[in-house]
Structure 1
Amino acid sequence: MKKPLVLLLFVLTFCLATVQAEEVTPVPGTNAPAQIMVLNREVATLRASLFGYTPLQRARAAEQRIEGLLRDASPAQLRYRVDTQGAVVMYDNAMLFTILPQDVNTLAGDTLEAAARRAQTALLSAIADAQAFREPTDYAWAAARAVLATLVAGFAFLLLARGWRWWRQRALILLLGASRKFAAGPFKVTPGVVRQTLHWLGIVLMWPVMLLLSYTWVSFVLGQFPYTRIWSEQLDRRVLDFLGGVLQAALSALPGLAIAVFIVLLTRWITRSINFTFRRIETGQLQIDWFDADTASTTRRLLVCLSWLIALAMIYPYLPGANTEAFKGLSVMVGLMVSLGASSVVGQFASGLILIYSRSLKVGEYVKIADHEGTVAEIGLFATKVHTNLREEISIPNSVLVSQNVKNYSRLATGGGVIVSVVMTIGYDTPWRQVEALMLEGAKRTTGILPTPVPVVFQTALSDFYVEYNLRVALAEPRRRIEILDELHGHLQDAFNEYGVQIMSPNYEADPDHPKLVKPGDFYLAPAQRPNTQDRT
């Protein structure tokens, strides 16, 4: 059992000797900067080799010399001397380490004097930390203070959580009671909204307090021990630097924010003027030759959107962080996403503008688009909504609408109604004058057909087995087109049945026994009337 222990001690002794030999043996070619660290404090940074020793070897040798006198050193005997060869940090006239001119970062504005002064200050702090813990009882008292601080912090967290829970319950009861008063008013506050509001309010109020409490506990505990006291000081310094940077950034951003606020207020005044002017054009209170009331709403929205886009472009340089790389990267990413995903949106938008400013459709007009027939309810920038007679709302993308044939039954209705036609085919054995009279009789019986222009019948085709008659009438209300046509079809059937005229069109497979002709005496069978003037033959 003793032999393995002796062997282990021999190996450890050999390793320590090897490490010490490596620390003092010059290693050429390794000139990386090295820091002299004492109790985790950075005393100085060495960048140059001296007499073949690398910066790392110089730093380790200086650390060994300093650690040997920390507990018994007198701060009064620590000083430095600066000359043309460099700066020498000494204790009781004994050199601790040397700072060469090549060790100083002159590009950052550093000097030998400043580097030596920082080294002296760091060593004084290290000596004070080391001499504050001369006895084991000092570490025990430091650990006791750290444990006590931990218990106090835990109790504070517990008290904070319970206090927040108590306050939340009280606030919930009060707010729910107040929400019942607003339940019948214009602003309805539900219990879910109250709970969600309290949840987010707790996050906003509690997290900063918890972070502050955690920071205070960590800083106090680290400051109780010599090896971690520098971390506490660095933490305090970083937090103070961060808060100072935030305050300085906020103060420096105030002029830019003032300009941005001025641009927003000016844009708001411009948009309100645009809305006021174009709403008067929409209602007909103001008439301008180059603006149409039907396109005033779209023009108003476009001008308002354009005004805010221009304002945003003007505000952008004055926003805090607008020139940072993060802000630029975010702008590029958003622009790329918009450019890749907005191609169809831009197409819909352009089609909507074409529809609106070409005035092919207007709200309230009765139209037929492909197989859909109804009243135009809304013409948006991206889609058009049509209400059918079946109480359906059909949304048609503007890009599709632009490529479709649109029948507008209302556009010319003000000039004499909408003309609709009814086509019938009757055999040659029925006098054409009788057919025309019967069709006009059916139109006369139908309500919703305008007397002017008068209904008229045209013979549009002389086919092999029948004549094609086209009755054209004018409707007073285009929206009732289907209802009026339904009534007209019924009256046409009644009129033809009353006078014994067959509506079914004949088709032959062989010649009839007798020619299908109309005798001249039957040219004016009832209800056809012989005209006073010369009739067409």
Structure 2
Amino acid sequence: MDIKQLIDKIDWGLIIGYGLKLTGAILVWIIGSWLIKKVMKQVARLMDKRDYEISLKKFLLNLISWTLKIVLVLAILGTLGIETTSFAAIIAAAGLAIGMALQGSLANFAGGTLIMIFKPFKIGDFIEAQGVSGTVKEIGIFTTTLNTFGNQLAIIPNGKLSNENIINYSAEDTRRDNLTIGIGYSSDIKKAKSILLAIANDYSKILKDPAPQVFVAELADSSVNFTFRFWAKNEDFWDCHFYAIEEVKTRFDAEGIEIPYPHQVEIQK
């Protein structure tokens, strides 16, 4: 068989058709790769502008990049004439299986994503959540770590953390203390009130604006209960709290103001 006969037997229509498909696939790959780079740059720029947390930013960029690359591969296969329906079905089935197996982890991931985007708290804030109080040490994709008063690490799943109440004590620059102080019924109410106000006014770390407040809140069974309120900066709050408690006892004792406490009466027959 000579070369002419071999050339005559070649299906040029098939070769040209497949060549066009291959050329189209190459063009799709080039243009798609360029578009993916442009999209990733814009997404990264948007995340920087909105100050996304670094670990969330890296994770989301990787997730978006791989998703776009999978779409590009399916587009290239479709351009080559390869049936992509089965590939899409396999990917969907695998995603569903993984989602069912990692249901709890995905809930924690979603919670971590919401926390990092909406930022109800940040590292260094003192918060109370899930029955735990502490300073936020780390915000991860799946969990948040708190450092408690006892210097213990509390690790809270982000799924629960994002769906329950959170008290952020550091969100504002100042914080109000609210103490309940009881005195005996035989003690002088006006005198006790003036002592409490003096305690607040004598300490420089207790703010004078808003002004401290003292008022009778309750006539209880064995005591007249005052509500003693004052404001302090976040960093001074506990100094002011413990100062006030100690000064109440010291000054009430010095001025003869009784602080009631439970008594046990023994009756002998």
User: Please, what TM-score do these two structures have when normalized by structure 2?
Assistant: 0.70
- C-alpha contact 2:74 2:84 (8 A) present in aligned 1: no
SS of alignment partner, residue 35 of structure 2: helix
- CA gap of 1:325–1:456, structure 2 versus 1, over 3 A, is closer
Q: In structure 2, what is the Cα distance between the partners aligned to 1:272 and 1:376?
A: 31
Contact 1:427/1:506 (<8 A) preserved: no
Residue 32 of structure 2, aligned match among 256, 263, 272 = 263
Indicate the SS of the match to 1:474: strand
- Spell out the pairing of 1:286-435 with structure 2 (5 A cutoff): 302=60, 305-306=63-64, 308-318=66-76, 323=83, 331=91, 334-355=94-115, 360-413=120-173, 417-435=174-192
**CA deviation vs aligned residue, 1:401-446 (integer Å, no higher than 9, x gap):** 2343322223343xxx211111122211111122222222333344
Alignment root-mean-square deviation, CA: 3.9
Whether contact under 8 Å (1:274, 1:304) holds in the other structure is: no
Check whether the contact 1:419–1:472 (CA below 8 A) recurs between aligned residues.
yes
SS at match of 1:473: strand
CA distance in 2: counterparts of 1:388 and 1:278, whole angstroms? 31
Please tell me whether the aligned partners of residues 420 and 473 of structure 1 are also in contact (alpha carbons under 8 angstroms): yes
Of 482, 485, 501, the residue aligned with 2:238 is 482
Task: Show the counterpart of 1:72.
Answer: none
Distance in 2, Cα, partners of 1:508 & 1:466: 16
Match of 1:455 among 212, 219, 236: 212
- Give a deviation string over 1:101-150, Cα, whole Å, max 9, x none: xxxxxxxxxxxxxxxxxxxxxxxxxxxxxxxxxxxxxxxxxxxxxxxxxx
Whole-angstrom CA distance in 2 between matches of 1:502 and 1:412: 36
Offset at 1:501?
2.5
**How far apart are the structure 2 equivalents of 1:324 and 1:273?**
29
User: Against the structure 1 CA distance between its residues 322 and 469, is the aligned structure 2 distance closer, same or farther, given a 3 Å change threshold?
Assistant: farther
Task: Tell me the alpha carbon deviations over residues 321-367 of structure 1, each in whole angstroms, 9 at most, x when there is no partner.
Answer: 97589967863662343132132233224434554565543444322
How far apart in 2 are the matches of 1:387 and 1:312?
A: 41
Q: Which amino acid aligns with 2:71?
A: A
SS for the counterpart of 1:264 is helix
Equivalent AA in structure 2 for residue 437 of structure 1: S
Q: Give the Cα–Cα distance (whole angstroms) in 2 for the partners of residues 481 and 371 of structure 1.
A: 21
- Structure 2 distance, partners of 1:280, 1:325, is 38
Instruction: Give the Å deviation of 1:463.
Output: 0.8
Work out which structure has the larger RCO, using CA pairs closer than 8 Å and 6 or more positions apart in sequence: 2
Opposite residue 254 of structure 2, the aligned amino acid is E
Instruction: Provide the C-alpha distance between the structure 2 equivalents of 1:459 and 1:405, rounded to a whole number of angstroms.
Output: 31
**Who is 2:254 aligned against?**
498
CA distances 1:53-99 after superposition (whole Å, capped 9, x unpaired): xxxxxxxxxxxxxxxxxxxxxxxxxxxxxxxxxxxxxxxxxxxxxxx
The 3-state SS of whatever aligns with 2:226 is: strand
3-state DSSP class of the match of 1:424?
strand
Shift of 1:464: 1.5
Q: Residues 448-503 of structure 1: CA distance to partner in whole angstroms, max 9, x if unpaired?
A: 321211111122211111111121111212x5533432233222222222223232
Structure 1 counterpart of 2:11 = none
Greater C-alpha Rg? 1
Residue number in structure 1 paired with 2:6: none
The structure-2 alpha-carbon separation of the partners of 1:382 and 1:260, relative to structure 1 and needing over 3 Å to count, comes to farther
Q: Distance in 2 between matches of 1:307 and 1:273?
A: 12
What residue number does 2:41 align with? 272
Distance 2:263 2:104 in 1: 53
Q: CA–CA distance in 2 between the matches of 1:268 and 1:484? A: 55
What is the distance in 2 between the residues matched to 1:345 and 1:322?
35
Contact 2:183 2:223 in 1 (8 A): yes
Give the CA deviation at 1:315. Answer: 2.4
Aligned-partner Cα distance in 2 for 1:490–1:397: 38
Contact 1:421/1:470 (<8 A) preserved:
yes
Per-residue CA shift, 1:153-192, capped at 9, x if unaligned?
Answer: xxxxxxxxxxxxxxxxxxxxxxxxxxxxxxxxxxxxxxxx
Q: Which amino acid aligns with 2:97?
A: M
- 1:133 counterpart residue number: none
Residues of 2 paired with 1:489 and 1:317: CA distance? 71
Cα distance change of structure 1 residues 496 and 327 upon mapping to structure 2, 3 Å threshold = same
CA distance in 1, matches of 2:168, 2:160: 17
Deviation at 1:309, TM superposition (A): 2.0
The residue type equivalent to 1:423 in the other structure is T
- Are 1:317 and 1:323, in contact at CA under 8 Å, matched by a contact in 2? no
Partners of 1:445 and 1:491 within 8 A in 2: no
User: Given residue 312 of structure 1, which amino acid in structure 2 is its aligned partner?
Assistant: I
Distance, in Å, in 2 between the alignment partners of 1:332 and 1:471 is 61
Structure 2: which 5+ runs fail to align?
1-20
Q: Where in structure 2 are the equivalents of 1:57-206 lying within 5 Å?
A: none
